[in-house]
């Protein structure tokens, strides 16, 4: 009996320790996912008690929905405009923070401030900055004689404004992730490079980036997943309108899902959009995984 209890403690206790996570995940992650899939196969409206089985009709309708494809294209466009500059700026910022600075803790905490600021406050400020009549950006454009831009009405201009908002919020957060990875790079490499006359930029490209490549790949995957779920920024930039502008010029996939679910109350179709969005994120993550695996092997 004693040996049995010993073996159970040795082999069974690790599963007991991790069980709470999987129980919570099953309740709040797996069950909603499966249930949403079930709802997507029905004509399911909030004000109706009858939920008619429609099979894959919602999926057929979704793939022919021009609003869905417009939202997908807007999401990809905003993701490219926000993620690439964001990660490049985070890399440079982390490299600067990794230098010998006075009060380094202060500067590192400052980099995180945009991320802990309320997204509503950020949207309010950026709506003022990109305002058509009295916005700061239009004022500066006027100083150089470039004329004013109605940032919210244009497709490219509105997506640039939203991308600027996302970049401002998440650059510091990614910079601190890069900084933590840079702290593990042996200082001897930088000392040797300095003796050889390498500039700070050369140290960044020849030492830092190759050394922290797994961390960079991790942030690319996380940013890809986050970029596909952008909701608050376009919603608040458009004055809480779920259509993403008068011509849906900055409606993202999450915003489209919100519109279908909570404006039309068509939960069956909204669940279909949610599953399509889930599939797109999985495909993007798999592509990222294949690319990162190839880069790691090389």
**Tokens in use for 159?**
């997506």
Count of structural domains within the chain? 2
Query: What pLDDT band is residue 279 in, cutting at 50, 70 and 90?
Result: very high
Range of the domain at 22: 1-40
Residues 235 and 107 in one domain: yes
Residues 232 and 168 in one domain: yes
Considering the chain, what is the average pLDDT of its residues?
Answer: 87
Condensed to tens digits (0 to 9), the pLDDT of residues 147-181 reads: 788 888 888 999 999 999 999 988 989 999 999 99
Q: 127, 72, 79, 125: which is closest to 239 by C-alpha? A: 127
Condensed to tens digits (0 to 9), the pLDDT of residues 197-251 reads: 888 888 888 888 888 888 888 888 888 888 888 888 888 888 888 888 888 899 9
Residues 115 and 246 in one domain: yes
Q: Which residues contact 158 (CB under 8 A, 6 or more apart)?
A: 151, 152, 237, 245, 249, 250
pLDDT of residue 66: 94
pTM (predicted TM-score):
0.84
Residues 104 and 168 in one domain: yes
pLDDT of residue 57: 93
């Amino acid at each position: 009996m004693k040996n049995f209890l010993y073996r159970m403690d040795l082999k069974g206790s690790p599963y007991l320790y991790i069980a709470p996570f999987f129980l919570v995940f099953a309740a709040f992650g797996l069950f909603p996912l499966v249930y949403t899939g079930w709802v997507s196969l029905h004509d399911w409206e909030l004000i109706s008690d009858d939920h008619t089985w429609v099979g894959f009709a919602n999926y057929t309708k979704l793939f022919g929905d021009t609003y869905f494809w417009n939202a997908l294209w807007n999401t990809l466009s905003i993701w490219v405009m926000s993620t690439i500059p964001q990660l490049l700026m985070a890399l440079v910022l982390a490299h600067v923070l990794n230098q010998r600075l006075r009060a380094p803790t202060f500067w590192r905490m400052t980099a995180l401030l945009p991320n802990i600021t309320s997204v509503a406050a950020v949207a309010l400020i950026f709506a003022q900055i990109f305002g058509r009549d009295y916005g700061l950006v239009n004022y500066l454009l006027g100083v150089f004689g470039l004329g004013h831009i109605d940032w919210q009405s244009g497709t490219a201009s509105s997506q640039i404004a939203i991308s600027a908002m996302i970049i401002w919020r998440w650059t510091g957060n990614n910079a601190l992730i890069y900084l933590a990875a840079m702290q593990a790079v042996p200082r001897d490499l930088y000392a040797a490079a300095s003796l050889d006359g390498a500039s700070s930029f050369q140290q960044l490209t020849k030492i830092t980036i190759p050394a922290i490549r797994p961390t960079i790949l991790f942030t690319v995957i996380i940013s890809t997943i986050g970029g596909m779920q952008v909701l608050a920024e376009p919603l608040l930039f458009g004055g809480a309108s779920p259509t993403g502008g008068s011509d849906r010029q900055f409606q993202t996939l999450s915003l489209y899902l919100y519109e279908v679910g909570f404006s039309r109350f068509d939960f069956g179709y909204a669940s279909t959009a949610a599953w399509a969005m889930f599939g797109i994120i999985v495909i993007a993550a798999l592509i990222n995984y294949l690319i990162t695996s190839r880069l790691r092997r090389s």
